[in-house]
């Protein structure tokens, strides 16, 4: 499930615990695991929402712009934006959405990099206090034990299998190494894997395992079972799987995105990084990590110290503060 959807559900839990009455209005209603989670919490699902029934709206993701149009004039509206590179494509295809940046009463992003490099040109009319950075927090959950490994080493990547996530680079790097002692586990909805990478998978499906979308507890189990967690995307916001790897004490392999550096990740200090798309260097990083026990343990310990950057209580308190300030200045 997408990190944006998971974070909204986590925030709903916080607001319920604070005594608020909630309802959720899906932009594209359909059955699925998130609907089940809201129903389990007794949170009603409204196919249409009337502003007179509520005191505030939290619009989640860029694609909720139509809800901002429809309700921001009647309700204090917090617009929670998670997208990175895909945002510019969505705004180019839906130019009417741009007006929502002027209508939302507060805009929240999980990183300053997203605010300043993705959405800056849409925010120039907004006061600084109207655009708030609240980094994601990781809520601890039960973990379902993963299947026993079929190889000596296990690398796990959690996230939608998509060109933006570049799982094809991981597959190509392992194929380049030719190491039969490594298995790659891909957890996430299989949307788009490059043809050359899929051909490699089809030849050796026991080494390159595409598990599809899995329950959160099971995904956490795969992360905890890994020798390394890889996130090699060309675009990310504040990836939950990176924080989950820190809590699990598993070393990470990353592309050198500025948003990762904003969060405190440093090549050679608490992770190994490579330039986006540089498959030979990614392969070398994998080979180095798995072949050097002392360095692997050092990076795991250094990565585990990054847990403080993903403190869920800090996230919950900051979001609650933003929501309370918006409620105090009701429109």
At 331, the pLDDT band (50, 70, 90 cuts) reads very low
Percent share of the chain, pLDDT over 90: 76
| Angle, vertex CA 248, rays to CA 320 and CA 310, nearest 5 | 25
Q: What is the CA radius of gyration of the chain?
A: 20
> Is the CATH code 3.40.1190.10 the one for domain 153-309?
no
DSSP 208-270: EEEEES--HHHHHHHHHT-SEEEE--S--SS-HHHHHHHHHT--EEEE--HHHHHHT--BTTT
- Over residues 263-273, the mean pLDDT reads 96
pLDDT given for residue 284 in this prediction = 97
Structural tokens at position 199 = 């051909």
At 2, the pLDDT band (50, 70, 90 cuts) reads confident
Taking 60 as the threshold, does the pLDDT of residue 1 lie above it? no
At 330, the pLDDT band (50, 70, 90 cuts) reads low
Taking 80 as the threshold, does the pLDDT of residue 151 lie above it? yes
User: In the predicted model, what is the mean pLDDT of the chain?
Assistant: 92
Looking at per-residue confidence, does 145 or 237 come out higher?
145
pLDDT in tens, 34-72: 888 999 999 999 887 776 789 999 999 999 999 999 899
| CATH fold match for the domains 3-137+311-328 and 153-309 | yes
For the chain, the domains span: 3-137+311-328, 153-309
pLDDT given for residue 170 in this prediction = 96
- Over residues 79-97, the mean pLDDT reads 90
Burial tier of 121 (Cβ tally within 10 Å: 0-12, 13-18, 19+): exposed
Q: Which fold has domain 3-137+311-328?
A: Rossmann fold (3.40.50)
Chain centroid to Cα 106, Å, comes to 21
């Amino acid at each position: 499930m997408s990190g944006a959807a998971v974070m909204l559900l986590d925030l709903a839990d916080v607001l319920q615990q604070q005594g608020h009455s909630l309802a959720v209005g899906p932009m594209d209603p359909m059955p699925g695991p998130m609907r089940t989670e809201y129903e389990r919490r007794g949170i009603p699902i409204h196919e249409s929402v009337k502003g007179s029934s509520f005191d505030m709206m939290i619009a989640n993701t860029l694609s909720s712009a139509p809800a901002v149009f429809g309700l921001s004039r009647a309700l204090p509206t917090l617009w929670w934006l998670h997208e990175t590179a895909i945002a510019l494509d969505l705004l180019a295809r839906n130019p009417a959405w741009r007006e929502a940046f002027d209508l939302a009463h507060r805009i929240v992003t999980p990183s300053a990099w997203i605010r300043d490099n993705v959405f800056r040109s849409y925010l120039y009319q907004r006061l600084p206090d109207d655009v708030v950075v609240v980094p994601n927090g990781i809520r601890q959950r039960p973990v379902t034990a993963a299947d026993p490994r079929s190889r000596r080493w296990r690398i796990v990547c959690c996230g939608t299998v998509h060109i933006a996530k570049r799982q094809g680079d991981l597959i190509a790097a392992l194929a380049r190494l030719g190491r039969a002692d490594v298995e790659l586990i891909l957890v996430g909805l299989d949307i788009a894997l490059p043809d050359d990478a899929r051909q490699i998978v089809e030849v050796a499906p026991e080494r390159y395992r595409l598990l599809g979308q899995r329950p959160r507890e099971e995904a956490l189990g795969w992360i905890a079972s890994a020798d390394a967690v890889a996130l090699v995307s060309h675009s990310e916001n504040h990836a939950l799987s990176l924080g989950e790897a820190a809590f699990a004490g598993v070393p990470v392999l990353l592309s050198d995105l500025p948003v990762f550096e904003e969060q405190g990740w440093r090549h050679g200090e608490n992770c190994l990084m490579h330039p986006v798309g540089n498959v030979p260097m990614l392969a070398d990083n994998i080979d180095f990590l798995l072949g050097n026990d002392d360095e692997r343990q050092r990076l795991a310990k250094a990565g585990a110290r990054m847990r403080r950057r993903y403190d869920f209580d800090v996230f919950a308190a900051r979001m609650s503060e933003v929501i309370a300030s918006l409620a105090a200045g009701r429109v």
